[in-house]
A and B are shown apart, each in its own frame.
Chain A
Amino acid sequence: MFLIVIIKILFVVGVLLTFAALLTWVERKQSAVTQDRVGANRVQILGIRALGLFHIITDALKMFIKEDYVPEKVNKFLHFIAPLFPFFSALAVFAVIPFGSPIKIGGRIVELSIARLDSGLIYLFALSSLAVLGPVIAGWASHEKYALLGGMRAAAQMISYEIALGVSIIGVIMVYNTLDISLIVEKQGELLFGFLPKWGIFVQPLAFLLFLPAIIAENKRIPFDLPEGESEIVAGYFTEYSAMRWGMFFLAEFVEVAVVAAVLTTLFFGGWQFPYLFDDGFHFFGVWHLPYWLIVIIRILTFFAKWIFGIWFLQQVRWTFPRFRYDQLMKLGWKIILPWGLINIALTAIVIMLING
């Protein structure tokens, strides 16, 4: 049992770090495609360029051998620990995300998520709320005004949007009637009116529209990247960071992109559910039986396909929209997402009451 958990942890951490590394390349290439450029293609090994994939290696090398410069007046200890918060909270959040249906190995059922918790959704929010400590501590410890401004912006933004996030997701909890993420995914396999998969985006479209901007804002990427707004405050909270310490913030951001895409997949796009695929095979104009192992593999691949689509979508958002102004950001969070989230709760409650009679 212990061994299985260790294997799952290694798998998840390995996948997340691989995704984060690949995302540094995706970021460049996708921005290039969006802006009609060629993009990173200079690094070559023996004449092979591999679409610029080797830039990942050179990036890592550069971050490790650069001088790790720590300004004299910073608070050394806090300056050191600040980048760890966003990085480890992003990794820890993934523990409750199921990446496949439970599998049976020798009479034992193995959940394909590191931990199945009774209040998994609360765990997700609790652990992701720790990430905000990173920018705040970094901003304060750097002993510099731009960093402090960035840290303050990050704190205000992330706490505001945490509320918006929490309110927008309540409708989903009401529909599936549980906080257990694995159970939410299982319930998304049911069919609505006999043909529509009961995915979050179909039963809670308004919640999805509110949740999406809120969770991008939690990620602090464009159009919500005010904490690091280069044109105003140099680089915000990580102005005084260099080499691998800066790299930790940078990597944390990409791990967060991957985690956000996984959360969206799990809550709104049915997680590992393939439409019309049940435990015994396809139910599509009759029943098409499939072997058990094939169903398991299809479901894991489905999760990964949806996950990669989600990451592509988030990257496209990042390269499409301009940055918000600060008052627009606060207005969106408090005056649009929060009230509409409350309306969504009322509407969902009325519909559930009507259906249950």
Chain B
Amino acid sequence: MLATMLIYIFGALAIFSGLMMILYRNPIHSALWFGLVLFSLAGIYALMQAHFLALIQILVYVGAITVLIVYVIALLNFDQRDLVGKVTILKGIAVIVAAILFIELLFYVGGLYVKGIAPPPEFGKAANIGLATLTRYLFPFEVISILLLVAVVGGVYIAKKD
């Protein structure tokens, strides 16, 4: 009962802070609202028995990524008036794509809800995630590590150029 209530609270918080994130003009505020979105997602993961995932979400996204975003925005020192953009064709396309994605997700998640899939009891334990990463999902795991390596090398290259 409490868990169901908390899921609704975290869900509402995620949607609210997501809206605030795109509605605020000040990028630092947006970044902090983004942090709250990620935090409430972590709450939802925790209520769905994925404790490890929830904690990693807080550790990586709230504790590191949000801080880095705030760090970069604070260092950029831009003029706020530059952020008020004009309506372009690209933005129109973005809105259409976002709408399609939203409808797709609605159908997909709606389907799951009707089926009422309950997680197995061993779901979300750190040991199982580690095992799955190193056996069944080894290839995607390695590919992602190469992707991250490429990003790091690219970052070093850009930093070294001047």
Contact = CB atoms under 8 A, between A and B. Distances in A.
A179 B126 CA distance: 8
A159 B55 CA distance: 17
Interface string B52-70: 1001101100111011101
Interface stretch (A127-135, A260-268, A285-293): A127-135
B152 interface: no
A258 interface: no
A215 interface: no
Nearest to B52: A119
B63 A129 contact: yes
B16 interface: no
Contact of B59 (A78, A125, A137, A156): A125
Interface string B8-48: 00000000000000000000100010010000000000000
Interface string A148-163: 1001100110110010
Nearest to A163: B64
Nearest to B57: A126
Interface residues of A, number: 26
B56 A140 contact: no
Contact of A126 (B28, B32, B59, B68): B59
Contact of B71 (A78, A125, A130, A136): A136
B39 to A, nearest CB: 9
Given A118-B52, A159-B64, A162-B63, 13 more contacts: A118-B125, A119-B126, A122-B55, A122-B59, A126-B58, A127-B58, A132-B63, A133-B63, A140-B28, A140-B74, A155-B67, A155-B70, A156-B71
22 contacts: A78-B32, A118-B126, A119-B51, A122-B52, A122-B59, A122-B126, A125-B59, A126-B55, A126-B59, A126-B63, A130-B63, A132-B67, A133-B70, A139-B74, A140-B28, A140-B74, A148-B74, A152-B74, A158-B67, A159-B64, A159-B68, A179-B126
Nearest to A128: B63
B54 to A, nearest CB: 8
B124 to A, nearest CB: 9
Contacts of B51: 117-119
A137 B32 contact: yes
B64 A152 contact: no
B75 interface: yes
Q: How large is the interface on B (under 10, 10 to 19, 20 to 34, 35 or more residues)?
A: 20 to 34
B63 A122 contact: no
Contacts of A156: 71
Interface of A: 78, 117-119, 122-123, 125-127, 129-130, 132-133, 136-137, 139-140, 148, 151-152, 155-156, 158-159, 162, 179
B58 A162 contact: no
A123 B74 contact: no
Contacts of A117: 51
B59 A129 contact: yes
Contact of A130 (B62, B70, B125): B62
Contacts of B32: 78, 137
B74 A151 contact: yes
Contacts of B56: 122, 126
Nearest to B64: A159
